[in-house]
Chain A
Amino acid sequence: MSVAIERALEQLNQIILGKENQLKLALSCLLAGGHLLIEDLPGMGKTTLSHALASVLGLSYNRIQFTSDLLPADILGVSIFEKEPGTDLGRFRFHAGPVFTQLLLADEINRATPKSQSALLEAMEERQVTVEGETRPLPEPFFVIATQNPVSQSGTFTLPESQLDRFLMRITLGYPNERAERLLLEGNGRRQQAGQLAALISLEELQRLQQQVRDIHVSSSVLDYLQRIIAFTRYQAGYLYGLSPRGALALLNSARAWALVNGRQHVVPEDLQAVLPAVIDHRLADAGGGTRAASALVLEKVAVLA
């Protein structure tokens, strides 16, 4: 495992206790260059996690609290007429919105109206923003970490499937285990320091790691397995619709990043299986309305070797 990754994970683990797997997934997501969706109840540490990630990666960080009266301009920015001092002349000047940052935390994204949601989601896909006919590129790298309350909570606008698809991964944190909670209650956690962590991975290093992810070796046997998974979601009864090619690519890139985070230069089936729930569960709807996640069926029914 790369020393930088190891240290970053170590650091993060001290902030968020007992969530090693989720932290690894979150890091893999960013290394694969994808956006991350964290879905959980309020107060589970979603914001802390994203804040800590931004600090550890040394990225500029903005946060938007999504509310139902948030407007697209509040995210993207707005042009304001400014008078030249001392003259009667003036001109419009663009005031960049909070989206112009390297890591954007979109807190409680499903509290905003669809109009505002889509303003952000377009920026996520195209990594540029067009305001008043002028296209402005977003900083490089550009990550969005969005948090979302479970849809059953009141006052939420569900994200449609097409927009969920733009998040590389969706993770849930869940309640901490007993020991971690005890440490937290004892005040040993460093939650409040999340924003003041030293950057452990420089921008160049991040880009190098992202390049490494792209270079991770994938054997034909793994691709076979991946294709069986895709085919299974498309042709097997029980799914409303199958994985899109974008979903398939997402699965492959996530598995690569996961392999790198676990210190391997090649992808093994375990990598695919590890990222599978985070990558496909939010992309696939269960046709039967069953309680099992889409990935559970895949893990059980799709042959690894065939």
Chain B
Amino acid sequence: MNQIPRVALILLLLQMLATLVIHVSHLHFPFWLLAALAICWRWLMHRGQLPYPGWPTKTIAVGLGAVAVFFSYSGQFSLESAVAFFVTAALLKLLEMKTRRDAFILVYLQFFLLATGFLFEQGPLWGLYGIAGLWFGTVALISLQLNVAGSTSVRVAMRYASALMVLALPVMLVLYLLFPRMGPLWSIQLQSDRSFTGLSESMTPGDIANLSIRDEVAFRASFEGNMVPDREKLYWRALVLDQYDGRTWSYSRSSSSVQWYPDPALGNGAVLVANRYEVIMEPTGERWMYALDNPAAAERSSGITSTGLLINRQGVYQRMHYRGVSLFKPRQQSLTDDERQLNLRLPPDMNPQARAMAAELRQQYSEAAGFSLALMNHFNQQPFHYTLKPPRYGQDEIDQFLFESRRGFCAHYAAAFVFLARAAGFPARMVTGYQGGEWNETDHFLTVKQYDAHAWAEIWQDGRGWVRVDPTAAVAPMRVQYGLEDALRDEEASLIEGQTGIGRRMKQIGWLYDLQMKGESMNYLWNRWVLSYDRSLQESLLEQVFDRGDYQAMLAWMGGLVVGLFLFMGSLLLIRRQRSNTLPWIREWQQLQQQARQCGVEVGIGQTPSGWLQSLALAMPALADDCRRLAHLIDQLVYQSNEVNHDDQRRLQRHIRQLRRRLKSVRRPATETAAARHIHEGAV
């Protein structure tokens, strides 16, 4: 019986497709074609309409597959190309699959492929999908083992698979909670060609506008005690751009020295903390993290730059969960000469009109505060337009923006502000990040999406430090108070993904909106409690259970729990088996036969007790009397009576055990004769 049952084959082919679905986001089209081809081919092979491929066909197929992977991923070794290669191999294995053994291998490959899917997809629905896939694979595996034909075998296999999954669940939970969490070994090297959406280290003013039509989640945040700051104060700083070359704003690495964790600002007793919050950040591939004003490093491996940014030691390649803290007071009290220089530097000979305007304003205002107020008034009173689609500006873009078209997005206003301030001699810089977000009332968290991306300015005021100035608030106050969508005119708002047509209407229909919020909540809770369970959370959990979360104790606990679980289940099974039908004296009898078999006495399962005892007596004459007595006893107690009652069972057990002891004592000579007979037979 080495053939693959038809039912199992159908399950296997379905499972193959189902496994590929989890890779839908990154698997290129040719591989789907290959999958369809391989599955159809295998099915026709089963129908007998196509022969099994010979070795030349197989060799060509493997070669073509390898070439396809190479060109499809332009020769790069990345996670995607590795998975694609693996998919190809599994699909080709499908063609080669002939015996049950092959089918087993394929099922294991499918399990592995399913697992690799989680490198790409980690949502709660994909999690459920993965569990379903695991179950389905188990069904296929079991139906391979079953001899029952037809639909019964699927039903039986499903029942078994469900039972197995339920049994595996506690083990899975224990491993999830206690298995040591190592760092992400693969993510850094392999995910090189993965592109992230989000802010970047350099920016031309149009960039934010492009980002602002994306409907992807940037991060989610919750606040301790639900003390949510007002929306106008929710400025999530990501980057400080302090270099301007006339077109692009960028981040100067030279300026930043980093204060790593533990942060002395949090160390001394009397800390004044404005906000405590937690952020679950989507991967960006960059080192910065999002933080409100005046952040402190509250998380291991995080630090604060001299420009007041929260950053991570490594890039954020996986969804990250961190705690954030805002201090009341800015930590920077004075500006060094270098910093002053850096934040005043402008490309020479550009934007003459703007420079002239700056000089004029400087005449009136010698203080930075007055200067920025005047500028804000200027933006507010002059006919400036806030728009997602500003015109393209060429040379002297600030001049063109300020004095000609007066149409721009947040970055244009911020850029103009910083330029004017620097031209007037006030140190100023551009800040990018996110502003606002959508508050979920039911589960109390804030979802910040890419269209919440924002740019604003900071100006240095002696005695107050860096002060945030958002010129956009002067032009389009709605942006800051209610969000981008409300600040734009309708036809522009519809450019934003997820806000188009149906999406906009969804917000107006109450229950649909509720449903959307529920989905958001589910995602958030999943991220918050399942995905972000990392080493530090594990340690804090263990610290609650033990005194210190040391790994030895943890391993011991994990091992103990797993072993304990298995022992528990094993004993359950054992008890069930014992209860089922095998009486103690029969088990003793079977052990006697087992023992005799080791002594070279043949044991036929269909031999009657007295018949077998006779053959035992023949093989071991020393035991003849005992055998006869036992045979008589069995006849009397088992066959002459109606039921073997408890006392009789004890008696039988005692006698059988006695015979076993006798057997043991005469065993040595017996084995020798058996061995001698063996040699004799061999010689013949």
Contact = CB atoms under 8 A, between A and B. Distances in A.
B586 A220 contact: no
A133 to B, nearest CB: 48
Nearest to A303: B605
B508 interface: no
B589 A220 contact: no
A243 to B, nearest CB: 16
15 contacts: A219-B642, A219-B643, A237-B147, A267-B639, A268-B635, A268-B639, A269-B609, A270-B611, A300-B604, A301-B606, A304-B606, A304-B608, A305-B609, A306-B581, A306-B582
A244 interface: no
Contacts of A304: 605-609
Nearest to A220: B643
Given A268-B610, A303-B606, A306-B582, 17 more contacts: A219-B638, A219-B639, A220-B642, A220-B644, A221-B639, A221-B644, A222-B639, A237-B147, A265-B640, A266-B640, A268-B608, A269-B609, A270-B608, A270-B611, A302-B606, A304-B607, A304-B608
A273 B609 CA distance: 12
Contacts of A265: 640
B152 interface: no
A112 B315 CA distance: 95
B641 interface: yes
A115 to B, nearest CB: 38
A301 B604 CA distance: 8
Interface in A182-233: 217, 219-222
Interface residues of A, number: 22
A299 B607 CA distance: 8
B640 A300 contact: no
B605 A266 contact: no
B608 A221 contact: no
A299 B639 contact: no
A179 to B, nearest CB: 26
The 5 A-B pairs of least Cβ separation, nearest first, read A269-B608, A299-B606, A266-B640, A221-B638, A268-B639
A298 interface: yes
B649 to A, nearest CB: 11
B39 to A, nearest CB: 31
Contacts of B147: 237
Contacts of B590: 305
A300 B611 CA distance: 13
Contacts of A273: 606, 608
B235 to A, nearest CB: 75
A256 to B, nearest CB: 13
Contacts of B582: 306
Interface in B583-627: 586, 589-590, 604-611
Contacts of B609: 269, 304-305
Nearest to A304: B608
B242 to A, nearest CB: 82
A270 B605 contact: no
Nearest to A219: B639
Nearest to A270: B608
A268 B613 CA distance: 14
Nearest to A225: B608
A69 B609 CA distance: 52
Contact of B586 (A268, A269, A306): A306
Interface in A241-297: 265-270, 273
A176 B609 CA distance: 32
Contacts of B611: 270
Given A237-B147, A306-B582, A306-B586, A219 B608 contact: no
A219 B639 CA distance: 5
Interface in B148-167: none
Contacts of B608: 268-270, 273, 304
A300 B607 CA distance: 8
Contact of B605 (A219, A220, A267, A302): A302
Nearest to B147: A237
Contacts of A270: 608, 610-611
A27 to B, nearest CB: 22
Nearest to B611: A270
Interface string A105-117: 0000000000000
B365 to A, nearest CB: 99
A221 B581 CA distance: 12
B676 to A, nearest CB: 28
A255 to B, nearest CB: 11
A62 B609 CA distance: 44
Contacts of A299: 606
Contact of B606 (A221, A222, A266, A298): A298
Contacts of B581: 306
A219 B641 contact: yes
Nearest to A298: B606
B659 to A, nearest CB: 15
Interface in A40-83: none
A252 to B, nearest CB: 14
Contacts of A305: 586, 589-590, 609
A227 to B, nearest CB: 11
Contacts of A267: 639
Nearest to A229: B606
Identify the interface centre among B589, B590, B606, B610: most chain A CB within 10 Å of its CB: B606
Identify the interface centre among A221, A237, A306: most chain B CB within 10 Å of its CB: A221
A303 B642 CA distance: 20
Nearest to A222: B639
Identify the interface centre among B608, B639, B644: most chain A CB within 10 Å of its CB: B639
Nearest to B582: A306
Nearest to B604: A300
B605 A301 contact: yes
B6 to A, nearest CB: 17
A272 B644 CA distance: 19
A270 B610 CA distance: 9
Contacts of A303: 605-606
Nearest to B635: A268
A302 B605 CA distance: 6
A47 to B, nearest CB: 35
B653 to A, nearest CB: 13
Contacts of A269: 608-609, 639
A24 to B, nearest CB: 18
Contacts of B638: 219, 221
A266 B643 CA distance: 13
Nearest to B1: A237
Interface in B431-481: none
Identify the interface centre among A220, A270, A302, A304: most chain B CB within 10 Å of its CB: A304
Interface string B628-657: 000000010011111110000000000000
Contacts of B643: 219-220
B32 to A, nearest CB: 41
A300 B605 contact: yes
B608 to A, nearest CB: 4
Contacts of A268: 608, 610, 635, 639
B646 to A, nearest CB: 14
A220 B635 CA distance: 13
Given A268-B635, A305-B586, A306-B582, A219 B606 contact: no
Interface in B140-183: 147
A18 B640 CA distance: 32
Contacts of A237: 147
A73 B607 CA distance: 49
A265 B608 CA distance: 18
A273 B605 CA distance: 13
Contacts of B607: 304
A82 B586 CA distance: 72
A266 B639 contact: yes
Interface string A130-163: 0000000000000000000000000000000000
Nearest to B612: A304
A273 B606 CA distance: 9
Nearest to A237: B147
Interface in B404-446: none
Contacts of B640: 217, 219, 265-266
